[in-house]
Each structure stands twice: as C-alpha cells, then as structure tokens.
Amino acid sequence: MSVLFLVLPLALLVVAGAILAFVWSARSGQFDDLDGAALRIFVEDEEEDAR
C-alpha cells in the first residue's frame, strides 16, 4: 500500500510531462502539415532526373 504513495505521484508527473510536450508541439506548429510527408513519396527528386 505504501508503494502507491510513490507510484501515483510519479505517474501523475509522467502524464503531466506528456501533456506539456503535446501542448508545446501543437503550439509550435508540429501538426500543421500532416499530409506533406505522406505525399512526398509521389514527388520525383530533381537529382534523379539529372542522371
């Protein structure tokens, strides 16, 4: 039972850290272009055309 007094605050700190990381990444624009990386495979590189 006494281990709960250690594990519960540590779990809350981990969750708070994950929430802060998500909020920081959302505000800094990490999720602005979700389709760009997925569609990049269809665009041919200019270096390959020069060969």
pLDDT of 1-51, one tens digit each?
Answer: 899 999 999 999 999 999 999 999 999 988 888 888 888 888 887 766 555
Enter the pTM of the model: 0.63
* pLDDT value, residue 49: 54
* pLDDT value, residue 17: 98
* pLDDT value, residue 34: 83
The widest CA-to-CA distance across the chain, in whole angstroms, is: 68
* pLDDT value, residue 51: 56
Which 3-state string (H, E, C) describes 1-51? CCCHHHHHHHHHHHHHHHHHHHHHHHHCCCCCCCCHHHHHHHCCCHHHHHC
